[in-house]
Structure 1
């Protein structure tokens, strides 16, 4: 019988996790919380905290967000812990939060600090991966996913199907977001459905319908 050694993790993701999401999420959470716990013992000004949040804390889940859709509750928990770290005064977590996290995620020109909204960052990464899947038709990962989930159609028509993996469900969410928010650049027009696709700036899908 052939044997296989568990290769462990790659950029924080387990090489295999089966159907358990907790193993993936717990590692990310522990890594972030351990970092912030170590920093609380140091006297950091707001500029130092800003750099650590942007360069370290919000970078830890970045690779995972490229392949899986993180639960909303998980994102909120991480953001709440990050907000407590940001507003903490001399190591005291129970400090006044003078602005909501939503306001802090705005760009600096709009009164925020440019921190990332994890949910928005997550879906943006997944939409990018869906676009890669559409364009990189001869790559190994595209061939594998196509053979398993959509052998007889394109990614646009692909459905979730039975017993779909967490990764596949996440990619479909990225595809659907891309479909809603993306807009076609007109070339020959042969691949565009004028009634269903976004191709006119400022006009969404189904704005105009053919006469019946």
Structure 2
């Protein structure tokens, strides 16, 4: 099975298995950064500019299962909270609170599932 514009050509079978490449691609990108000691500001920039933009094209084209969106959000949260790469890190706040705009006390990360639905609604 080949890919066209980063999307598999054959869209059949389990959608979770089919779109698992998104998490693999995201984790591959994150694993390249974890050896560096990044500040919270550096992690914020990397998350907002790269990790949240990585699956945008696929999310604007297909309705992804909720499990895939949750896996992506979980991987991003794990990168945000961990200070030592092999360890998970302590989640000091709920991810929904972290995703609030800065004016409301959050950091301004996107909620993956809500952003995904907004991209699909834009197509309508």
Same fold by TM-score greater than 0.5: yes
Residues in 2 aligned to 1:31 and 1:7: alpha-carbon distance in whole angstroms: 16
Residues in 2 aligned to 1:39 and 1:108: alpha-carbon distance in whole angstroms: 25
Q: Which has the higher contact order (CA 8 A, sep 6+)?
A: 2
Which runs of no fewer than 5 residues in structure 2 stay unpaired? none
How many aligned residue pairs are there?
124
- Corresponding residue number in structure 2 for 1:170: none
- Corresponding residue number in structure 1 for 2:73: 79
The Cα RMSD (Å) is 1.7
Residues in 1 aligned to 2:120 and 2:97: alpha-carbon distance in whole angstroms: 24
- Corresponding residue number in structure 1 for 2:89: 95
* Matched position secondary structure for 1:66: helix
Superposed displacement of residue 107, structure 1: 0.4
TM-score, structure 1 normalization? 0.54
Change (3 A) 1:100 1:21: same
Which residue of the other structure, out of 54, 57, 60, is the alignment partner of 1:63?
57
Residue 20 of structure 2 contacts residue 68 of structure 2 at CA under 8 Å; is this kept in 1? no
Deviations 1:11-36 (A, max 9, x none): x2123323442454121111001111
More helix by percentage:
2
TM-score, structure 2 normalization? 0.89
Residues in 1 aligned to 2:84 and 2:12: alpha-carbon distance in whole angstroms: 42
User: Is residue 2:119 matched to residue 1:125?
Assistant: yes
Superposed displacement of residue 69, structure 1: 1.5
